[in-house]
């Protein structure tokens, strides 16, 4: 229902097309009992749970230190507004900019299982390293490698779900849950670390993160291979896993140039992809900017403690949940309209973009409300509740709708489109949070918020323009199908 377009990007249309190694048949029949579609229901649920746990940990780690900045700055002797503290998140997100270009196609060559097991195990080890870091520089190094490892589940899990669920409704629901859980994981990070670091050392932030990650480790280790072409290749090669991996990696390296070139080429030649990527980059980076801005605003204006600042993320989480429910409701209405033969439901852009058209203004209004209500004369619950809930709802609607829209439009090349969009927004999320301390200290809450609101308001026109000029955009697109 919610994300059937992702099947195209992560399912059969994204099968590796290189057959020069003569090891990769084009497909495995869905009637074949070996096909992951035919797994027992309980095994599918276990795979779904494993994927959601991996996705949750992946994004939880990205924001985990955000609520422990006071403890970190005190322990390492850093100023509370030090740029070095921003690096703890930004270095982690570097992995999110690089991994989609490498590990998404690699999982389609050697399979989901080895990629997920290796990356998740490394994430657990580097989280342990973060908890034991003897110096701030060592902590930064561990965060960098933890990010590279954690980005892999975030890249591959969507494909894992598409592998096992037959039909757009079942796989779409799974992918929608994946995005919802991933967003919530990002918000739980500063909430948890804010509560933990008040009464305990900053290291406990990472110890708790390690425990949460460790819960999923046995499940990931028991994960079966789900990518049908690799399963068939295993059978044809007599389950010679070592030979399979050797050939897969060799083929992947041979095609590395074309794999890396296509997303860049699409960004240059596809206005739909370019402006969608820029819009998502702004929205995504604003969330990470908030992780830096909340301590400045609520700690500075209201003198709230770190644990109370952590509670400020609860309204955003509630808004994200509300946006997720709206996404499902709209999906049901759209499905009913399709069954009734309504003319508007035959237009592909109306499947997703109306939700993005609603989400964009929610973000702009949220930023304006925060700008004008974050004042010593107004109770902090007002900006927290109103702006937080609106931002969370707008974020989820915009993010989920625009991401799935890319898969709907680009179909065969959706994996490359998603990689381009992921890399773009990750780069923005690395850079923009560095501006938060300067913006809010020098410009003030109101001026900084208005600047962000204007930027988001301008970019909110993107899905509206896509709807109005949909025929022109599609006619000039080279990669859409």
pLDDT, mean of residues 107-116: 84
pLDDT, mean of residues 298-306: 85
Residues 349 and 456 both lie in one domain = yes
Q: Residue 167: exposed, middle, or buried by beta-carbon count in 10 A (0-12, 13-18, 19+)?
A: exposed
Contact of 292 with 433, CB cutoff 8 Å:
yes
The separation between the first and the last C-alpha atoms of the chain, rounded to the nearest angstrom, is: 20
pLDDT, mean of residues 317-339: 90
Neighbours of 303 (CB within 10 A): 10
Rounded to 10 degrees, the C-alpha dihedral 281/195/157/111 comes to 120
Q: Residue 346: exposed, middle, or buried by beta-carbon count in 10 A (0-12, 13-18, 19+)?
A: exposed
Residue 358 has pLDDT above 70, yes or no: yes
Residue 286 tokens, joined: 């604003």
Q: Pick the last residue of a domain from 215, 232, 254.
A: 254
**Residue 418 banded pLDDT, cuts 50, 70, 90:** confident
Residue 441 has pLDDT above 90, yes or no: no
Range with the lowest mean pLDDT among 47-61, 391-405, 433-447? 433-447
Q: Residue 218: exposed, middle, or buried by beta-carbon count in 10 A (0-12, 13-18, 19+)?
A: exposed
Three-state SS string over 239-289 comes to CCHHHHHHHHHHHHHHCHHHHHHHHHHHHHHCHHHHHHHHHHHHHHHHHHH
Q: Pick the last residue of a domain from 254, 273, 304.
A: 254
133 to 89, 127, 206, 210, 320: CA distances (angstroms): 16, 10, 10, 14, 34
CA 445, CA 439: separation in Å to the nearest integer? 8
pLDDT, mean of residues 331-354: 85
Instruction: Tell me what pLDDT residue 257 has.
Output: 61
Residue 248 has pLDDT above 60, yes or no: no
Residues 173 and 311 both lie in one domain = no
DSSP letter at 384?
A: I
Residue entry with tokens 């989609």: 100
Instruction: Tell me what pLDDT residue 54 has.
Output: 93
Residue 127 tokens, joined: 């989280």
**Residue 28 banded pLDDT, cuts 50, 70, 90:** low
Residues 76 and 188 both lie in one domain = yes
pLDDT, mean of residues 9-35: 47
Residue entry with tokens 């004008």: 372
Angle made by CA atoms 401, 406, 412, in degrees to the nearest 5: 145
Residue 57 has pLDDT above 50, yes or no: yes
pLDDT, mean of residues 194-218: 91
Residues 250 and 283 both lie in one domain = no
pLDDT, mean of residues 186-201: 88
* CATH number, residue 55: 1.20.1250.20
More confident residue, 235 or 245: 235
Residues 227 and 363 both lie in one domain = no
**Residue 240 banded pLDDT, cuts 50, 70, 90:** low
CA 73, CA 271: separation in Å to the nearest integer? 43
Q: Return the axis-axis angle of helices 271-300 and 256-269, rounded to nearest 10°.
A: 90
Residues 248 and 290 both lie in one domain = no
Residue 364 has pLDDT above 90, yes or no: yes
Q: Diameter of the chain by CA atoms?
A: 73
More confident residue, 407 or 134: 134
Residues 193 and 219 both lie in one domain = yes
Domain that holds residue 49: 1-254
Residues 224 and 347 both lie in one domain = no
pLDDT, mean of residues 171-185: 84
Structural domains counted in the chain: 2
Handedness of CA 335, 337, 338, 344 (dihedral sign): negative
CA 32, CA 34: separation in Å to the nearest integer? 5
Residues 276 and 220 both lie in one domain = no
Instruction: Tell me what pLDDT residue 260 has.
Output: 63
Question: Over the stretch 118-164, which tens digit does the pLDDT of each residue have?
Answer: 999 999 999 999 999 999 999 999 999 999 999 888 878 877 887 88
Q: Residue 234: exposed, middle, or buried by beta-carbon count in 10 A (0-12, 13-18, 19+)?
A: middle
Contact of 60 with 185, CB cutoff 8 Å:
yes
Contact of 109 with 253, CB cutoff 8 Å:
no
Residues 286 and 359 both lie in one domain = yes
Q: Pick the last residue of a domain from 229, 254, 279.
A: 254
Residues 84 and 24 both lie in one domain = yes
196 to 69, 90, 311: CA distances (angstroms): 12, 22, 12
CA 148, CA 99: separation in Å to the nearest integer? 7
CA 18, CA 205: separation in Å to the nearest integer? 45
Residues 276 and 154 both lie in one domain = no
Question: Over the stretch 386-406, which tens digit does the pLDDT of each residue have?
Answer: 999 999 999 999 998 998 888
Instruction: Tell me what pLDDT residue 205 has.
Output: 93
Q: Return the axis-axis angle of helices 136-164 and 41-63, rounded to nearest 10°.
A: 150
């Amino acid at each position: 229902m919610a994300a059937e377009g992702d099947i195209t990007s992560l399912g059969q249309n994204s099968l590796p097309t290189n057959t020069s190694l003569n090891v990769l048949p084009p497909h495995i029949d869905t009637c074949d009992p070996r096909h992951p579609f035919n797994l027992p229901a309980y095994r599918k649920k276990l795979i779904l749970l494993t994927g959601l746990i991996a996705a949750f940990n992946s994004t939880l780690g990205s924001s985990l230190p955000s609520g422990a900045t006071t403890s970190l700055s005190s322990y390492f002797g850093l100023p509370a507004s030090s740029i070095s503290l921003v690096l703890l998140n930004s270095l982690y997100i570097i992995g999110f900019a690089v991994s989609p270009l490498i590990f998404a196609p690699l999982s389609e060559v050697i399979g989901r299982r080895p990629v997920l097991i290796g990356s998740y195990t490394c994430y657990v080890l580097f989280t342990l390293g973060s908890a034991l870091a003897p110096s701030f520089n060592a902590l930064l190094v561990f965060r960098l490698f933890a990010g590279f490892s954690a980005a892999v589940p975030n890249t591959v899990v969507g494909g894992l779900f598409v592998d096992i669920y037959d039909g757009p409704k079942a796989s779409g629901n799974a992918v929608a849950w994946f995005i919802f859980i991933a967003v919530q994981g990002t918000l739980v990070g500063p909430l948890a670390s804010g509560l933990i670091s008040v009464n305990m050392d900053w290291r406990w932030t990472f110890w708790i993160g390690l425990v949460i990650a460790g819960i999923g480790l046995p499940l990931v280790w028991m994960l079966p291979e789900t990518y049908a072409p690799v399963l068939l290749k295993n059978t044809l090669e007599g389950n010679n896993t070592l030979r399979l991996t050797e050939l897969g990696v060799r083929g992947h390296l041979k095609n590395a140039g074309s794999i890396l070139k296509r997303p860049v080429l699409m960004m240059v030649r596809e206005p739909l992809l370019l402006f969608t990527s820029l819009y998502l980059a702004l929205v995504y980076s604003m969330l990470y900017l908030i992780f830096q801005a909340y301590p400045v605003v609520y700690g500075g204006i209201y003198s709230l403690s770190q644990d109370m600042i952590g509670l400020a993320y609860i309204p955003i989480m509630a808004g994200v949940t509300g946006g997720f429910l709206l996404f499902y409701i709209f999906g049901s209405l759209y499905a009913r309209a399709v069954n009734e033969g309504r003319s508007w439901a035959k237009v592909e852009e109306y499947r997703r973009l109306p939700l993005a058209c609603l989400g964009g203004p929610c973000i702009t209004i949220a930023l304006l409300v925060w700008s004008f209500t974050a004042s010593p004369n107004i109770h902090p619950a007002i900006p927290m509740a109103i702006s937080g809930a609106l931002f969370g709802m707008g974020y989820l609607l915009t993010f989920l709708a625009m991401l799935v829209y890319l898969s709907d439009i680009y179909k065969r090349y959706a994996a490359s489109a998603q990689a381009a969009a992921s890399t773009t927004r990750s780069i923005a999320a690395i850079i923009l949070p560095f501006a938060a301390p300067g913006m809010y200290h020098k410009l003030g809450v109101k001026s900084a918020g208005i600047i962000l609101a204007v930027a988001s308001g301008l970019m909110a026109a993107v899905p509206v323009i896509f709807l109005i000029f949909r025929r022109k955009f599609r006619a000039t697109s080279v990669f859409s199908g």
